[in-house]
Amino acid sequence: MKTMLNVALPKGRLGEQVYSMFEKAGYPCPSIKENNRKLIFENPSAGVRYFWVKPSDVAIYVERGAADVGVAGKDILLEYEPDVYELADLKIGKCVMAVAAKKDFRDDRGRTLKVATKFSNIAENYYRSKGRDIDIIHLNGSIEIAPILGLSDVIVDIVETGKTLKENDLTVFDSVVPISARLISNKASYKFKSAEIDRLAQKIAEQTEERL
């Protein structure tokens, strides 16, 4: 019997793009395209089983070995630092982790900077590397309103088109790190399925190169 490769895909538009890349890499699973609410799909003849999971949970499924491989955003990898291999940059879902603030913001280094973010670890590492004293305000959503209401001086958040920032009178002051989707693998799974996982990573990397 063919060994099954368990793949955690991020639910949503990005996940559909990722699936197409896996399909082209030799892991088709036609049933995934059926319009239903199922979350697990498998194609034993291709030796693959896909799970749709919340994008921020992909790294957990992979780190804990429920999935052998998965595709997660670099933002999630930097924030949670899961103990996984990062085997390829899919170069899709591109955006930037950025520092944004009100247009009239002036960074006064004489006082602690108040930073509102969903990505506390990334923000902390970024400002530590700059030797800046900060006060993190961890929020789970609607980060953009924090500077407007005086809750924070700046925000650290993902910026894709910049439209939300513009509509809330905010502007990007600095770029922290570029973000894109990455192919990750559980370290133990890699030990036992290295040939297959390496082949998959290679085929995915070839597709990203073709696109450039």
Partner 1 sequence: MNSAQLLPSENLVFLLRGLYDKYGYLRYKMNKFEEYDLYAKNKDFLISDSVITFTDTNGKLLALKPDVTLSIVKNTKDSGKTVQKLYYNENVYRVSKGTHSFKEITQVGLEAIGSIDEYTVLEVISLALKSLACTGKNCILEISHLGILSDVINYAGIPQGEIEKAFRFIGEKNIHELLSFCDALGIEKTKADLLADAAKVYGSAGDVLPWIRKNLKGIADDKNIDEFEKVIKALCIEENGGAVRIDFSAVGDLRYYNGFVFKGFAEGIPESVLSGGQYDALMKNMKRKSGAIGFAVYLDALENTSTVSEYDVDVLLLYSEKSDISFIKRTADEIISNGESVLTQREKPCTVKYKRLLAEKDGEVICVENNA
User: Which residues of the chain form contacts with partner 1 (CB under 8 A)?
Assistant: 63-66, 83-89, 186-192, 194, 198, 205
Question: CB of residue 86 vs partner 1: minimum separation in angstroms?
Answer: 4
Length of the chain, in residues: 212
Question: CB of residue 115 vs partner 1: minimum separation in angstroms?
Answer: 22
Which of 2/111 has CB closer to partner 1? 2
What lies within 8 Å, CB to CB, of 31 at 6+ separation is 38, 41, 42, 43
Question: CB of residue 151 vs partner 1: minimum separation in angstroms?
Answer: 26
Instruction: Retrieve residue 210's tokens.
Output: 């073709």
Which of 187/203 has CB closer to partner 1? 187
Which of 39/188 has CB closer to partner 1? 188
Question: CB of residue 196 vs partner 1: minimum separation in angstroms?
Answer: 13
35: helix, coil or strand? coil
Dihedral sign, CA of 138, 144, 146, 150? positive
Which of 33/64 has CB closer to partner 1? 64
Residue 204 backbone class (left: φ over 0; alpha: ψ -120 to 50; beta: rest)? alpha
Which of 46/177 has CB closer to partner 1? 177
Question: CB of residue 128 vs partner 1: minimum separation in angstroms?
Answer: 14
C-alpha–C-alpha distance, residues 57 and 90, integer Å: 18
Which of 106/130 has CB closer to partner 1? 130
C-alpha–C-alpha distance, residues 162 and 167, integer Å: 9
Give CA 29 to chain center in angstroms.
Answer: 23
Question: CB of residue 185 vs partner 1: minimum separation in angstroms?
Answer: 8
10 Å Cβ neighbour count for 65? 12
